[in-house]
């Protein structure tokens, strides 16, 4: 199961962000695919369980064939909102709930299959047998092509790996948050041939002022001049250089920013520049 080298995250496309009209969302889908970004990352909870349906309506109006794009979605979080009678945020990974969530996502996205289904966050009550039963059922019925997890540690992945079903892990990773480069997660994923996606790949670089970001900005500014690129492209290229072939999930709704993100795939930082950025992030020389 392949994706585009940059994935477009849809969390802020709907009421949780830009609140695009149907035609505006259709336009962004078409521009994304034109750029080369053919994979769209969803979760059932986005927009309080409304964004998938908005996207589905918009994609239906587009000129794009379904077999030219890939849909990712996530399930498992029971969110408190108008559409759910929940009294507390919780997780549900029962066979029945996973299957029901996927069937709802298929309906909302107006598609016959999901390319990649991710369990959104780990639950202390996960039963691997129930999850495997749901996955096997969905695979047999050709409703899901590939399975994975999001925000899982390696031990939590191992809990579900007895049937060799887990092919993906989507986790937070950026120059601001390089933890996964040191905690053994990526090493184990590479060893077990589990593919990587990184959400929030720009970290908080553009969101807040901090001593860490001040250090990073000095190096990024110099490298922008050296490579003749934008700041966001340097940050993405830093992630893309990792041998784990991490695929960034970018949350921008700007076609210009999407194009910049896609072009970062062709930016190959030299090894010393990569470590200059890491040193700036850590605040000390690499041990």
pLDDT at 83: 87
What residue ranges of the chain have pLDDT lower than 50? none
* 277 lies in some domain: no
Task: Confirm whether 46 is a catalytic residue.
Answer: yes
CATH of the domain at 51: 3.20.20.100
* Burial degree of 259 (CB within 10 A; 0-12, 13-18, 19+): middle
| Cβ-contact 216, 257 below 8 angstroms | no
Three-state DSSP at 196 gives strand
**Active-site residue among 46, 49, 205, 262?**
46
* 158 lies in some domain: yes
* 243 lies in some domain: no
* 81 lies in some domain: yes
Number of domains in the chain: 1
- The whole domain housing 50 covers 7-172
pLDDT at 215: 98
* pTM, to two decimals: 0.97
Nearest-angstrom CA–CA distance, 16 and 78:
17
pLDDT at 123: 97
* 99 lies in some domain: yes
> What is the phi/psi pair of residue 189, to 5°?
-65, -40
* 274 lies in some domain: no
pLDDT at 1: 73
pLDDT at 7: 98
pLDDT at 163: 72
* 247 lies in some domain: no
pLDDT at 164: 82
DSSP tag of 180: G
* 197 lies in some domain: no
């Amino acid at each position: 199961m392949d994706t585009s080298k940059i994935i477009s995250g849809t969390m802020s496309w709907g009421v949780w962000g830009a609140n695009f009209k149907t035609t505006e969302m259709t336009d962004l889908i078409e521009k994304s695919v034109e750029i080369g970004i053919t994979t769209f990352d969803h979760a059932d909870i986005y927009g309080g369980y409304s964004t998938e349906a908005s996207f589905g309506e918009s994609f239906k109006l587009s000129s794009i064939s379904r077999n030219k794009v890939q849909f990712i979605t996530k399930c498992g979080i029971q969110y408190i909102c108008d559409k759910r009678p929940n009294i507390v945020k919780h997780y549900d990974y029962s066979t029945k709930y996973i299957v029901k969530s996927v069937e709802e996502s298929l309906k909302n996205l107006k598609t016959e299959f999901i390319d990649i289904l991710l369990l959104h966050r780990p639950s202390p009550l996960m039963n691997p047998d129930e999850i495997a039963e749901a996955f096997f059922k969905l695979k047999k019925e050709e409703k899901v092509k590939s399975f994975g997890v999001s925000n899982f540690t390696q031990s939590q992945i191992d809990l579900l790996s007895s049937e060799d079903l887990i092919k993906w892990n989507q986790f937070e990773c950026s120059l601001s948050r390089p933890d996964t480069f040191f905690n053994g997660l990526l090493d184990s994923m590479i060893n077990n041939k589990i593919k990587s996606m990184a959400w929030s790949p720009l970290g908080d670089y553009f969101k807040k002022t901090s001593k860490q970001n001040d250090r990073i900005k000095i190096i990024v500014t110099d490298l922008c001049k050296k490579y003749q690129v934008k700041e966001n492209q340097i940050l993405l290229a830093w992630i893309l250089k990792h041998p784990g072939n991490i695929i960034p999930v970018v949350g921008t709704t700007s076609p210009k920013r999407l194009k910049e993100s896609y072009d970062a795939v062709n930016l190959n930082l030299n090894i010393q520049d990569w470590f200059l950025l890491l040193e700036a992030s850590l605040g000390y020389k690499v041990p």
